[in-house]
Structure 1
């Protein structure tokens, strides 16, 4: 597989990432011979929503949004002869905050085309919001809050279904991030069910609504996961369904740009639709 670019990349504006500046990521991408890099920093969480992580470090601050986009533009111009640079956001779908997310998407306009829709937060039965990928200890607490590992998985896939069926307006992002992120701690906390039917149903909706899928290699490097998001079997199924698969390292430090691309199954990844429209 000839890797053309990395389209899921974080930056120093991420509170839980490295301090590497955006230019370091660009230089790493150029060194690896990539033609494209798309920054997808965690968008600020909705005003009025309290970050449930212990460190409250899930997303960039509202104050940094313009600085981030301005820096991306500066780098785009500086390196235009060497690599194509774009910037969007990783947008958190949070049940109950759909209007706030849609309003943010409207506010960034065409920048949303370079963005990713993901789920990190779930609403628990008691109304509390939780972050499913923060830590193994926190995931254990979440399973106790929900009553079982399977109850967490069921809620995750139901929430993903809600995401796919939400109307995000004229600037809806096309890509769905790490479809099976819920499996990050699966070697420690294993679901009794495989959720194959639920995932196939999600793929059918993704196909019908014209979404792309993040072929995300970060899970290969998570000690309690060890596979990509989604796994090879699901990626193969999506590929057979002609769902575009877009490579993303989900890197949070410059040295991880393009990491794990050689570990993906034998499938072709696509350029994002936003990029294909430019060439």
Structure 2
């Protein structure tokens, strides 16, 4: 079964293409389960996410598409929620979804993966940034409201790499993900970024495998051409590490399937 459940729509204000175009591309590629997980609204950084007043329209769009294409593909409805204490909202977290992806895009409100704020890397110690990032991932898992840990090592995006062993930096975060019974995604978007590497790295995926953390797959598409991006590469990495099954969802219930 081919799974791709981390994807966006134009409602996030930094994507292109219609919902139909995303789904039709997924069908062309033989994807069985395709999920929309729009950047959830919050009262911070509003230009890169859905607005609160668009939540009903977003839901309606996805449910209409689910019905329209039900004979060809399974369409899932979710949100990618930024873990940012004080800014997450019950209007989102109380939604009836198929899954929530919990992601960290901010360290002390610094958008470390946004090219507009690249200069922030020059003012801080890289190892300290990595430590703070994985502390935030650990806290995100302990928050206990998410189903999937999004792009685990997004912090590597611009190739600012730590001197310390990445496995040690991520150890407590991975243990928290396991304890929270979360799924971890293999996200192909890193191959489109300066790092040129899947999220997470093979080293961290091996650590997750040893902890028996289940996985799922996402292309993090922001254009229809990115749907299913590098699917063969991410599934090959998963198999190389030892995984043979992946998770899909419906109404937050997990199903383990062979990929």
Q: Distance in 2 between matches of 1:202 and 1:228?
A: 18
* CA offsets 1:181-233 (integer angstroms, 9 cap, x no match): 000001xx3322233213122222211221000111110121x2111111122
Does residue 142 of the first structure (1) align with residue 120 of the second (2)? yes
Contact 1:247–1:269 (Cα < 8 Å) also in 2: no
Residues 121-270 of structure 1: matches in 2 within 5 Å? 121-123=106-108, 129-135=109-115, 138-139=117-118, 141-145=119-123, 147-167=124-144, 172-186=145-159, 189-222=160-193, 224-264=194-234, 265=237, 266=239, 267-270=243-246
Q: Distance in 1 between matches of 2:80 and 2:247?
A: 17
Please, which of 96, 105, 114 is the counterpart of residue 93 of structure 2? Answer: 105
What is residue 12 of structure 1 aligned with on the other side? Answer: 10
Contact 2:248–2:256 (Cα < 8 Å) also in 1: no
Contact 1:4–1:271 (Cα < 8 Å) also in 2: no
Does residue 67 of the first structure (1) align with residue 60 of the second (2)? no
Q: Distance in 2 between matches of 1:153 and 1:95?
A: 18
Higher strand share: 2
What is residue 272 of structure 1 aligned with on the other side? Answer: 248
Runs of 4+ in structure 1 deviating by more than 3 angstroms, as ranges, are 100-103, 273-279
Q: Distance in 1 between matches of 2:212 and 2:40?
A: 29
Q: What TM-score, normalized to structure 2?
A: 0.89
* CA offsets 1:108-158 (integer angstroms, 9 cap, x no match): 1x31x42200011110xxxxx2111111x623x21244x322222121111
Q: What TM-score, normalized to structure 1?
A: 0.83
Q: Which runs of 5+ in 2 are unaligned?
A: none
Q: Distance in 2 between matches of 1:103 and 1:74?
A: 21
Q: Which runs of 5+ in 1 are unaligned?
A: 124-128
Say what the alpha-carbon RMSD is for the aligned residues. 2.0
